[in-house]
Structure 1
């Protein structure tokens, strides 16, 4: 990754600026105390993910609820209730397998009851008096490409309806290409499985004001296995979310290709998941390409061509 770009380079550069709110200092985030004790991350390759070379992580749709980041922080929890989640992402060049340092990583997701900040009047979910989700969700599973308005899955980017920004944040990767966020285990809403949205921006500049310039080289989503979701569903406030739950297998956005498609490695105590979960994933990206938003759905495979930021998207 270079700090400057030659005029001859054929890149679709998106001008973007991240402002640190009020110029406040950002608190460092550690993972100690947030994750339960236990063994290795589930199904993680022996020797750790750092020793392996990775293929491109699948590009997926941006969704209607993206807000160009205005929170430079690693702790994005704010006042949201839920199971503590320490999320560590490592970003590498899928061609050279070298870590990408100083990249800007955005994440955003709904809260425990399915609400997105900035879109509280539009997003789905919410507490209720119904029966907590079980291993076999009721109703017909979704089929085909997502359709309908926000909350159900389809439609292009929506303008925010409020000033809330919980469970959203941006931070820079270190010399190992890693960044760790502190948040809560996401909930669910109609038509989607449990997931976290992610973007990776490169070739920009970190300033006192935040992150400026560059382009988006990866837009994707991160997913949770069913065992972890079922364990979380027994804990409040997740247990009060009576929205019909879509499983990982039923989801129309998950590309069904495991960790390459964004399935997280997880570590937690199944008997005491309320104490916290640790999640990690190495993401292979193409830093010279632009993937600002995409309509890529399962069956299409990873997108390798630049896509317009005005693409239709699902949540």
Structure 2
């Protein structure tokens, strides 16, 4: 109705006021109909993404350009971040480590989404930066470590020596991790790199030395000696059944030989399986000697 009245008033004035001339085309005011909406430029983010530190004192202004104005915003995960409006300005405040998205709208109902990463610290550190081990040759040792400061979401990014060292995260939020290191022929140092959800990394070093001493206590050795006896053929049977490959399932021959120089214990199964331990004939318990272990399988030694 208002639109029709406006047109009528303009027509009436043209009749009543002689000498009235129309405006040039460039000065003509465009009047929208009742169902038409003005066209606004697309709303655009001032930043494609945001990285905000936890705490009200670290809140950052959320900027947008173009659009229809009268902007509002909200966070999709209010445990990670919230949006604070102060006058005509918007601020993102970090509440907890993690990722979220902030949705921004204008008065014409246009909207955009801005990814926001919230973090606690710019520096990552460990409770213990390195570990020194002395491991018996042929053995391995497992131990744990923990992140002292970081932003959670921890992963093992890399291990410099994966053949001898393995590591896994036990708790991705507390940063507890477990490492297993194997003894090598020589001393070595491996580096484990741990990363948090914001991309921060820290290195943990493992230094492994090798010892060739017996990995048993005196008490363990004494117990073993007290229970020691020679292997005999009856050990291969349990209620009349063969119980070991080394026993040849009844088709092989036990090796139990002693000569002037060596003692030999083992088993031979028609020359396809052969397992022998050779040591000095005059060896006594609880002493160290050079020995020899031989094993073959279908002729492959």
What's the TM-score, normalizing by structure 2?
Answer: 0.24
- Which structure shows the bigger proportion of residues in helix conformation? 2
- Which structure shows the bigger proportion of residues in strand conformation? 2
What's the TM-score, normalizing by structure 1?
Answer: 0.23
Larger radius of gyration: 2
